[in-house]
Amino acid sequence: MKVLELTIEGRTPAAEAAEIFAEAEIETREVAPGGVIAPLEPGAYDAILAAHVLQTVPRKDVVGELAEWVQGLVPGGALHLVVPDMMWAALQMVHEAEADQYVMGVLYGSAAVEHRSGFTVGGLRSAMAAAGLATQQARVGPYELHGHSPEGEDETVIARQIYAVGLRRADLEEAEHAARGED
């Protein structure tokens, strides 16, 4: 199995691909903030993982960027996405008197990596569908954010992130037709 792990330029990959695809041959490719990446070779990868990359892409370019990534998948390949959950950040804003550094980081990113779009589960599913993906799964889970309290002490906050897997819709439709004996 050949897997491409997309990571933000200048960041060390978080090794999430090795955790998800333990036996795979993993290639890493840097994406400039904003989604700038050299075109992928069509049909080169069984899976692509973009963990905390898509939120750096301007909202108007998200569907196009996803469609570009999809082109790099083999028939039946899967695109795995991990993004911060904006619903969590919005709830924190509503329930707290003042947004802390962690909520602001989820909303806006950091000085090194600006967030240019944000996602809820429904919004991510919609973008995936518009890019030609059928959502196989989309779930919300914990995400540890590490930093320091105002007093300078180490601090960890459990935020939420969205993990979604999409399959090329055209591949699914072809498989359904083949299963029914249609051309």
pLDDT at 81: 96
- Kindly provide the residue ranges of all beta strands, DSSP E only, lying in the chain, ordered along the sequence: 2-8, 25-31, 45-51, 73-84, 133-148, 154-168
More confident residue, 38 or 127: 127
Cα of 68 vs its chain's centroid, Å: 14
* Domains of the chain, each with CATH number or no CATH: 2-84+117-143+160-179 (3.40.50.150)
Average pLDDT for residues 94-116, to the nearest whole number?
81
Mean pLDDT over the full length of the chain: 85
